Structure 1
């Protein structure tokens, strides 16, 4: 059901960065840079490892930051309760940190971590997802395209570090970036060596929050933007006109019931008939979060902008079925 959801006050919630990437991409190197960088933030860290013996925690630099380790398997539905519990315990020491970083194991699908910030009411009042940052190994990613986790980590990302660029040729790098762009056309891509990047590109970027206007690369809306040879990709829809709220509800419900597992991310700004405010939404698989945003400005066109990232999107007939939700002008 589409309804206005009061957004949590950003001043009282802790911004969270989910750090992901396939094995050996450079996540721990980036985490150490975050912990040692003079950015003026106090950072708490949750490190998740696969297996009974934790290694990453031992590799993280000795710092004043709070570091918690979850080593009972990939962060998924079976241990989501642990993640919720750790976040709850962290919030008891809210005055000791300004930002939370969750590093997932290289074998993890980041979706369950993201879903935690949708599913648990208490977490929603205490923390907000700032961005999903994915580190991609430019040298070795070619060996992992068949792994679902590698594709999903890219598809879920708000920020992508194309790392180890010094180990590939310029032509290989360009080809790789184009392939990544075909899988996720809205993520910000940074080419890095040894995970060197300015922290203002990672922390406090508000990339997952649609309180700000949805930013879409104009080239993304070109016809060629939808051409790719992988099952994971992204599609943008831009339509003028007003939406029938009831039809939109029915369409989204049917879409999530039939294709929810294949829809990794969706986000958008909508013009609902009879509403003076923009409606913003974002979803992860079967979960959907929407709310009224600021009023439409007199100078801006009232249009609908949506982005879907997932698998086999071309088979979902998204454009035609969405247009069917528009109010028909007689």
Structure 2
């Protein structure tokens, strides 16, 4: 199963009826020259989405009788492993995988699969979470369903479907709300699944070697009328982190709040390390890797982003501040 570099995987989420299958059809019929393995998750003994996919010679695997994020997660590992074995043996050929989850799935546990299982982690690399949001019904779904809020908060790409049917004012309000829930995700209109493929594939949203890009308005305070339980917190610092203190703090943090931490990611300056440390976590799983030295003339400025459910912002602020190296007293400077 080591014939090539890890196979990129796109996790396609979105609430019921948002337009995931329409988007998937769009991707499969585009002339991109790649074969794609599709894993479909359906409730019930007989799935229907497979029949809705346009005729193609792609490899399509259905997972029935459960939600991909809970009871059949073991089946996901089995299917991914089996696909990799068959690909290595030359029985099938595909360049990437798209997993379409049921509309009720929390994408967090699915994403953890690619870090928790050694065989899966060796053969695959989770590229991005793409979430489709219904422009007509999205606001009501966000109000009523925690799964819809989690899907929005976890996304690397947020695609608005049915924008041609939505009232302009309602669409503007929904867009503002999604940006407040997840300001790090790129948000795009995608009526009828029309979105540029280069914005959906090879996103590197889960690549530890990718530099965290913060949009110009990322640090702007967001004020809106909805008290969503999913939100973002950004921490910036000019001083280096103390590695041991940061490890202790984050370890305790995930023990208490791990289930509510959807995504946390950052580019960090660590004391005694010349490299930038790219750090990310999913729920209770986290890790970091060096990503080149800080460029000459660029300040060693850390940025840490947390997206989660009812985040304890004051605790995060105090705890992360306490993990920074103590400033050198003015009297000692130059000695």
How would you bin the TM-score normalised by the shorter chain? Answer: over 0.9
Deviation at 1:211, TM superposition (A): 1.0
Asked if structure 2 preserves the Cα contact closer than 8 Å seen for 1:118 and 1:289, the reply is no
Classify the secondary structure of the residue corresponding to 1:269: strand
Aligned partner of 1:183 in structure 2 is 181
Deviation at 1:143, TM superposition (A): 2.5
Give the 5 Å matches for 1:45-64. Answer: 45-64=38-57
Post-superposition CA distance 1:31-82 (Å, at most 9, x none): 1111100111111100001122111111112211100000021012432211
- What's the TM-score, normalizing by structure 2? 0.92
- What CA distance in whole angstroms lies between the structure 1 residues aligned with 2:18 and 2:222? 29
Structure 1 pair 226–262 and aligned structure 2 pair: CA distance change class (3 A): farther
Q: Does 1:208 align with 2:206?
A: yes
Q: Does 1:18 align with 2:16?
A: no
Deviation at 1:218, TM superposition (A): 2.2
Deviation at 1:199, TM superposition (A): 0.8
Q: Does 1:246 align with 2:244?
A: yes
- What's the TM-score, normalizing by structure 1? 0.93
Aligned partner of 1:80 in structure 2 is 73
Asked if structure 2 preserves the Cα contact closer than 8 Å seen for 1:111 and 1:264, the reply is yes
- What CA distance in whole angstroms lies between the structure 2 residues aligned with 1:295 and 1:206? 20
1:129 equivalent among 101, 121, 126: 126
Give the 5 Å matches for 1:295-306. Answer: 295-306=293-304
Deviation at 1:118, TM superposition (A): 1.0
Give the 5 Å matches for 1:60-139. Answer: 60-94=53-87, 96-139=93-136
Gaps of 5+ in 2: 329-335
Asked if structure 2 preserves the Cα contact closer than 8 Å seen for 1:163 and 1:195, the reply is yes
215-224 vs 144-153, which deviates more? 215-224
Deviation at 1:229, TM superposition (A): 2.6
42-51 vs 219-228, which deviates more? 219-228
Give the 5 Å matches for 1:131-150. Answer: 131-145=128-142, 146-150=144-148
Asked if structure 1 preserves the Cα contact closer than 8 Å seen for 2:279 and 2:287, the reply is yes
274-283 vs 308-317, which deviates more? 308-317
Post-superposition CA distance 1:182-209 (Å, at most 9, x none): 1101001001211111111111121221
- What CA distance in whole angstroms lies between the structure 2 residues aligned with 1:63 and 1:311? 39
- What CA distance in whole angstroms lies between the structure 1 residues aligned with 2:86 and 2:296? 44
State the aligned residue count.
322
Give the 5 Å matches for 1:186-201. Answer: 186-201=184-199
Gaps of 5+ in 1: 1-8
Deviation at 1:303, TM superposition (A): 1.2
Deviation at 1:222, TM superposition (A): 2.3
Classify the secondary structure of the residue corresponding to 1:218: coil
